[in-house]
């Protein structure tokens, strides 16, 4: 059993840039996170933060951001349960929610990449410092701040960067480090006791000497992230040891309990994420004594980035989160651990009837929505629905050729229509159930987005086919 991960900070990541829960549900979730063994929150507001002044344009236009009072209530709920809050504010990459706006377009590294900030503009540095300042002003008790800095795509490809890189001794690595250090020192100057964390991926290809000579050491603690169930233990241990040799002995790691399977996944696989945590346990047990592990962030991405579709909603992922936290606490995912999760939530995997107990129905906050989503997703992925247009009758008697030339067999057209309507009616009943339950936990705009992204693309071809059969039968003089 690994004692390091058991005793260190366990942060649940709240990615609020997609499907932000209604505030009353979010408060309930915070209570549940504490009950499950978490002792901190890593909160990424993005466009759901009530930015002011020039930054007000960053606020979401599809739904109101959390108010200052609501952010205070989040901190109050967390504090009462002993949960530390660490805000996460991006300051280099993944700035799509900022740079998509026309007023900030000239701050992009390259015009066609909405995520990466041009590090040469003083206005860009002032912008991210102001974002950080406003967020921290509403989190006066937070002693840690995550500044992102991951996946800084296209860095070095802008005209100003190319010019900067043309001088001897300069590299993209130094270009990246210069910006991070400039921002970090600015934060350190205004809030001296604030500890800074950053994602590590942009550091991975650097030598210890490059990191050490840059001045980054002592300013920022790296958070190594890997969400794969087949995480490479040996390479990850070596990477953490490399950071230590560069002088960065205080480190964090990040796993995943949802949002890292595919960009459009709707239902979370508990085992996949448990396996990721089992690999992290192996990594930590293989570290040398000189590495000071600060904690682990269990990430729960709601989107891959600001402009991508919604991943699994939180209710569907809570059994996975519970299982992952118990795995960290016990050092394994035994039958005993699984039964502990079942006792708490009623299940270890939403929709897994074999391991769910009829005597202990799922009772966690959002359980009804989770079960409805699993049921609807199963229907949407069924062969009957997805392959309807490929069945013998449609491909044999109701092709565009037949429709265009009005050589349709009315008997078969009627049969296709009846079957399509029956399937659509069945799905629509379940869609309405999901909508009704989802509206209790999420805004109307989130509900509509989820439907448009995950339901409409599957149903629209069938709806079009139904309209075509009705139109053809009408033209042929058959009452529909």
- pLDDT at position 349: 78
Are residues 225 and 200 in contact, defined by beta-carbon separation less than 8 angstroms? yes
More confident residue, 363 or 59: 59
- pLDDT at position 287: 95
pLDDT band at 174 (very low <50, low <70, confident <90, very high): very high
- pLDDT at position 219: 96
Q: What average pLDDT score do residues 118-146 get? A: 96
- pLDDT at position 480: 60
- pLDDT at position 315: 96
| Residue 330, C-beta contacts closer than 8 angstroms, at least 6 positions apart | 1, 336, 337
Q: What average pLDDT score do residues 193-197 get? A: 96
Assess whether pLDDT exceeds 80 at residue 441: yes
- pLDDT at position 2: 43
Tokens at residue 294, please? 């600060």
How much helix, strand and coil, in percent to the nearest 5, is found in the chain? Answer: 55, 10, 35
pLDDT band at 119 (very low <50, low <70, confident <90, very high): very high
Assess whether pLDDT exceeds 60 at residue 298: yes
CA angle 443, 447, 453 (to 5 degrees): 140
Give dist(CA 14, CA 132) in Å, integer: 18
- pLDDT at position 205: 96
Assess whether pLDDT exceeds 50 at residue 437: yes
Assess whether pLDDT exceeds 70 at residue 224: yes
What is the average pLDDT value for the chain, to the nearest integer?
93
Give dist(CA 30, CA 74) in Å, integer: 8
- pLDDT at position 383: 86
Strand ranges (E), 279-346: 292-300
More confident residue, 203 or 392: 203
Express as a percent the part of the chain with pLDDT over 70. Answer: 96
Are residues 197 and 146 in contact, defined by beta-carbon separation less than 8 angstroms? yes
pLDDT band at 348 (very low <50, low <70, confident <90, very high): confident
pLDDT band at 375 (very low <50, low <70, confident <90, very high): very high
More confident residue, 304 or 8: 304
pLDDT band at 387 (very low <50, low <70, confident <90, very high): confident
Q: What average pLDDT score do residues 98-124 get? A: 97
Assess whether pLDDT exceeds 50 at residue 77: yes
Assess whether pLDDT exceeds 90 at residue 227: yes
pLDDT band at 4 (very low <50, low <70, confident <90, very high): low
- 384 catalytic? Reply is no
Task: Please state the pTM of the whole predicted model.
Answer: 0.93
- pLDDT at position 353: 40
Assess whether pLDDT exceeds 90 at residue 210: yes
- pLDDT at position 103: 97
pLDDT band at 439 (very low <50, low <70, confident <90, very high): very high
Assess whether pLDDT exceeds 80 at residue 362: no
Catalytic residue selected from 130, 151, 292, 470: 151
């Amino acid at each position: 059993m690994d004692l390091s991960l058991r005793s260190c900070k366990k942060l649940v990541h709240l990615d609020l840039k997609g499907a932000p829960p209604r505030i009353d549900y979010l408060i309930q979730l915070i209570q549940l996170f504490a009950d499950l063994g978490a002792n901190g929150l890593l909160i990424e507001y993005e466009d759901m933060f009530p930015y002011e002044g020039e930054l007000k344009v960053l606020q979401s236009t599809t739904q109101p951001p959390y108010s200052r009072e609501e952010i205070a209530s989040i901190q109050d709920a967390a504090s009462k349960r002993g949960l530390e809050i660490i805000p996460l504010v991006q300051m280099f990459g993944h700035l799509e929610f900022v740079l998509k706006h026309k007023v900030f377009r000239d701050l992009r590294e390259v015009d066609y990449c909405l995520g990466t900030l041009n590090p040469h503009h003083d206005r860009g540095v002032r912008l991210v410092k102001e974002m950080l300042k406003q967020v921290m002003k509403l989190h006066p008790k937070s002693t840690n701040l995550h500044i992102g800095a991951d996946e800084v795509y296209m860095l070095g490809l802008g005209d100003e960067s190319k010019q900067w890189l043309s001088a001897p001794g300069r590299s993209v690595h130094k270009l990246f480090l210069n910006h991070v250090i400039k921002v970090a020192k600015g934060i350190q100057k205004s809030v001296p006791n604030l500890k800074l964390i950053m994602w590590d991926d942009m550091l991975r290809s650097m030598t210890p000497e490059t990191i050490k000579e840059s001045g980054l050491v002592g300013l920022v603690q790296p958070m190594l992230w890997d969400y794969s169930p087949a995480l490479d233990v040996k390479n990850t241990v070596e990477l953490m040891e490399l950071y230590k040799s560069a002088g960065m002995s205080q480190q964090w790691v990040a796993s995943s309990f949802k949002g890292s399977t595919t960009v459009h996944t709707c239902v979370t696989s508990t085992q996949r994420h448990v396996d990721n945590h089992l690999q992290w346990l192996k990594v930590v047990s293989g570290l040398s004594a000189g590495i000071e592990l600060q904690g682990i962030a269990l990430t729960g991405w709601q989107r891959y980035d600001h402009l991508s579709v919604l991943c699994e909603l939180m209710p569907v992922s809570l059994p996975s989160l519970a299982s992952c936290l118990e795995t960290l606490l016990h050092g394994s995912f035994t039958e005993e651990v699984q039964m502990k999760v079942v006792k708490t939530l009623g299940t270890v995997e939403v929709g897994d009837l074999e391991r769910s107990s009829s005597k202990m129905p799922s009772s966690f906050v959002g359980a009804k929505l989770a079960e409805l989503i699993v049921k609807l997703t199963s229907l949407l992925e069924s062969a009957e629905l997805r392959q309807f247009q490929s069945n013998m009758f449609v491909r044999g008697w109701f092709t565009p050729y037949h429709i265009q030339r009005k050589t349709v067999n009315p008997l078969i057209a009627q049969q296709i229509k009846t079957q399509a309507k029956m399937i659509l009616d069945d799905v629509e009943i379940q869609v309405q159930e999901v909508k009704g339950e989802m509206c209790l936990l999420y805004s109307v705009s989130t509900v509509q987005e989820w439907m448009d992204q995950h339901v409409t693309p599957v149903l629209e071809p069938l709806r079009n086919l139904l309209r075509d059969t009705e139109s053809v039968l009408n033209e042929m003089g058959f009452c529909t």
